Structure 1
Amino acid sequence: MSSSTSLSLGMGPLGLFSASPTHRFAAPAAFLGWGWLYAYCVLASRTWKQWYGIDHNGSPRQDLTKYADVAVREGKITRAQVDQLRRVEAASANATEGYTLFVASVLFALVTDVPRSSLINACTTYTVARLVYGAVYVFVEDDFWSQARGISWWTGNISCLFLLWKGAQSV
């Protein structure tokens, strides 16, 4: 079956009915799944706020604005913990925003048949960079060491841009 025929039958670039034992799409799908889990669950500030007892389901995005100062005055949480929660929220927002570029670049690379090694290397680089980014954002307060956050942010984005570039070369 030709590539154009398989594409028209819905079997093409997504490999839904691939007879190949290599499962070309399994690793990229795993990276995409992990990226979603990390951005939307691991870095979600809601769990942190529940742990500290300042989560209010009626308006969870306003928890720190409305309730943080009161919680500090009542001794439920320290100012340092509030500052860390703010960094968790910022890291979470950035991770969900950056996830869309990652998804687009991986799908574009798959559709344009970017070599598997390039795809896996870029996905690995992105994933490690995002893990470093999140850890530095949440746990590092020092201005000097927090520069690692910017380096990891650029590293993750460059890996996505690399996939777009490789995909454009493949077309």
Structure 2
Amino acid sequence: MAYSLDTAGLSLYAIPVLWFTVQWPHAQKLVAASKALNTHPGDINCDPRMMIDWCNQKDVPQPVVERLRRLQSAHLNGVESFPFWMGTLIAANAFGVDAKTTNAVAAYLIVARCAYNYFYIYNDGKSRGMAGSRSLTWLSTNIACFFLLVKAANLLIAKSMM
């Protein structure tokens, strides 16, 4: 079966891909922290929110700790944003927003999230450009979701007025 932007429901596959983009920074943090602490990842995964504190207690170099903070922040932002993305894609599909539009926005969300993670994780705190790009990327994903939600709401209202 051939898929295209016109394939109905294709955008729903973006949900697990987006979930992966949210979890990737956490996995990177786990590996980087275990390396910095010279321990097995399973040993620190028992309380992953404490990794940065443990690194501070063990005198891990500050650049490593700062990178761990950025990884954690990217992960937490994704956890906060994921329900909005998922709800938007489900609503757009459920209320009949055209597949081409929904699929294009879904693809954009994936690409934008990867870019967001890059801008967040690899900004060493010295680049206002990367920080600004990260913020604009975050804003653009929200605008894309609102765009789809308004389309879904318009279709629902139009159906209720028939």
TM-score normalised to structure 2 length: 0.80
Superposition pairs of residues 126-141 of structure 1, within 5 angstroms: 126-141=109-124
Whether 1:108 and 2:104 are equivalent positions in the alignment is no
Aligned-pair RMSD on alpha carbons?
Answer: 1.8
* Contact 1:113 1:170 survives alignment (8 Å): yes
Aligned to 1:158: 143
State the 1:143 CA deviation. 4.1
Superposition pairs of residues 9-158 of structure 1, within 5 angstroms: 24-25=8-9, 27-40=10-23, 42-44=24-26, 45-53=29-37, 56-65=44-53, 67-72=54-59, 77-141=60-124, 142-145=126-129, 146-158=131-143
State the 1:130 CA deviation. 1.0
User: Is the alpha carbon distance of 1:156 and 1:50 closer, same or farther for their aligned partners in structure 2, counting shifts above 3 Å?
Assistant: same
* Aligned partner letter, 1:38: T
* Aligned partner letter, 1:121: A
Identity %: 20
* Contact 1:35 1:99 survives alignment (8 Å): yes
* Contact 1:39 1:95 survives alignment (8 Å): yes
State the 1:96 CA deviation. 1.1
SS in 1 for 2:45: coil
* Contact 2:12 2:89 survives alignment (8 Å): no
1: CA distance, partners of 2:35 / 2:141: 30
* Contact 1:127 1:156 survives alignment (8 Å): no
SS in 2 for 1:24: coil
Uncovered stretches (5+) of structure 2, i.e. residues with no partner: 1-5, 157-162
**How many residues are paired up?**
143
Deviation digits for residues 107-153 of structure 1 (CA, Å, limit 9, x no counterpart): 00001110011101111221111111111100012241211110000
2: CA distance, partners of 1:46 / 1:102: 25
State the 1:23 CA deviation. 5.8
SS in 2 for 1:102: helix
1: CA distance, partners of 2:150 / 2:99: 15
2: CA distance, partners of 1:30 / 1:78: 40
